Amino acid sequence: MSEYILCFVLFCIGLYCVLRKRNIIKIIIGLGIIEYAVNLFFVLIGYRTHGRAPILAKDRVVSNMVDPIPQALVLTSIVIGLAVTALIVAIAIRIYEKYGTFDITKIRRLKG
């Protein structure tokens, strides 16, 4: 249980960073932390006490494997995180070029 809670705390720290910080890079960092927390949560769900990695060995039978599905899903999720980070960093670099700052309170041509 404590593992789950700590994982959620990590999620909330990321959320706080995204909602409250006024710097583009900090917001990207916050998104990264959220993504870490979700990935970690997935793997925590699949963990089995004294389990073994889901890879078959040549010479012995492995009986108590951890759940392989979350690992497969998280692999996909990590890639998604990387893709989003790369795209947002590209946008951020362009914004820096146009506005000369990373501070979103100074980037306010749109009123939304």
CB of 37 to another protein, least distance (A): 8
In angstroms, the CA 112 to CA 101 distance is 20
* Residues 31 and 11: beta-carbon distance below 8 Å: no
> How many CA atoms lie within 13 Å of 85's alpha carbon, on the beta-carbon side?
17
CB of 24 to another protein, least distance (A): 7
CB of 63 to another protein, least distance (A): 9
In angstroms, the CA 63 to CA 38 distance is 28
